[in-house]
Amino acid sequence: SPGFLTLGQKYSIALGSTVVLPCKINETERSAQYVLAWKRGIAILTAGTLKVTVNPRIRLMPMVQGQPGYNLEIRDVHIGDAGDYMCQIGTMEVKEIVHTLEVLVPAKIDYIAPAHPVEVHKGARVRLECKGTGNPTPRIIWSRRNKLLPTGDANLTESVFEMLHVNRHSSGHYLCTADNRVGQPDVREFTVNVLHPPEVEVEHPTVHSGVGYEAQLTCIVHSEPTANVVWLKEGTELDTNARHHSQSVNGNKHSLLIRNVTRYDLGNYTCQASNHLGTDRGTLHLSGLPSICHFDSPTASNDRDQYNITWTVESHSPIEEYRLFYRLHSPSRHSLENPYGRGLYYNNPYSYQPEVVHRASFQLKKLRAGSSYEARVQARNEYGWNQLSSLFQ
């Protein structure tokens, strides 16, 4: 009796495609006496050359000359086509091979919760859920549009994404992606909006300016819903006028522009933001003092016992005096702020440089060869002394 040249195997086929299940036998003189049949479970699909099933998507493939076979074609594969298919030879002792058809189904999200945008107050708990179907079972991946997740991860694999004690950083667009590597992933978007009182950040706590110049004080306000922002000077709300102009940039950046600064404009300002959930404030200081000095000389000297130390400072009025502190470097010392200590040098240049940036230098002499020194410097204009500079070594 004839036997099979084909071995049973598993076919993984994408939904909607075509599959051919092979069934080849070795021809013998008595092959014609035996009936070949395709079955699925107890259902007979074909018997000999006769198609029994009424399914129009199933047919017997024509035999190729010299290649005996009894191949079954299934077109436009449906999910319900998955299962075992038997090719049988009707001998006294039935011979058969079994092909298993697995239908690969692209991932599809079939459940999301909540189905509407989420709006909660700061400190609340948010739970997002997403489920998908497909074959193989899809992975559910959470991500966030243009940002990392609040956990700091780029993505997380789980069906439920939960955030406890949300804050303004939790607001955004969250993406649920179902992916099983069959076709294109399915994606749904969740919008989370956290309502919170204003939070005020100050861009520069101290702004340096001078009489006749222009000054801009800036604060950044994070608020949902949008806050009302007002500016106060020494506790009194300012009226906007030709010299005091309040403006908003990109929604949350608020600036107070002061034109033609006078001595009376110097002092403390408050950026105050309010919505129905609360109020927050940021304090800024408009100062006529010089800014902090910055050393810009090389850290090593070409001279054995001398060093030319240089620095720059921004001041909108003339520099009247510098105060330079220097000494041998010692890890055990932490401060150079004693104005009467050893190594103090007063320089009284009264700088009339018209530029805002002032440059100064001093030649340190009789230094110890091969030694390291450290220095700090201060500058004074008509409004007083600035802060000591950072340590320079």
State residue 343's pLDDT score: 42
Contact of 8 with 24, CB cutoff 8 Å: no
Q: Which residues of the chain have pLDDT under 70?
A: 1, 28-32, 63-69, 332-354
State residue 239's pLDDT score: 85
Q: How many Cβ atoms sit within 10 Å of the Cβ of residue 301?
A: 16
Distance CA 237, CA 255 (A): 15
Distance CA 282, CA 142 (A): 36
Distance CA 42, CA 63 (A): 25
DSSP bridge pairs for 16: none
Question: Which CATH entry fits the domain spanning 114-197: 2.40.50.140, 3.40.1710.10, 1.10.1060.10, 2.60.40.10?
Answer: 2.60.40.10
Q: Which residues contact 58 (CB under 8 A, 6 or more apart)?
A: 45, 51, 72, 73, 74, 75
> What's the predicted TM-score (pTM) here?
0.76
Q: Which residues contact 247 (CB under 8 A, 6 or more apart)?
A: 254, 255, 257
Distance CA 195, CA 171 (A): 9
Name the superfamily (CATH) of residues 294-385. Answer: Immunoglobulins (2.60.40.10)
CATH 2.60.40.10 residue ranges for the chain = 3-105, 114-197, 203-287, 294-385
**C-alpha torsion angle, residues 237, 240, 244, 249 (rounded to 10):** 100
pLDDT one-digit tens code per residue, 263-303: 999 999 999 999 999 999 999 999 999 999 999 999 888 88
CATH 2.60.40.10 fits 203-287, yes or no: yes
Distance CA 250, CA 255 (A): 11
DSSP bridge pairs for 97: 87
Question: Which CATH entry fits the domain spanning 3-105: 1.10.3720.10, 2.160.10.10, 3.30.300.30, 2.60.40.10?
Answer: 2.60.40.10
Q: Which amino acid is at 195?
A: L
pLDDT one-digit tens code per residue, 87-104: 998 877 788 999 999 999
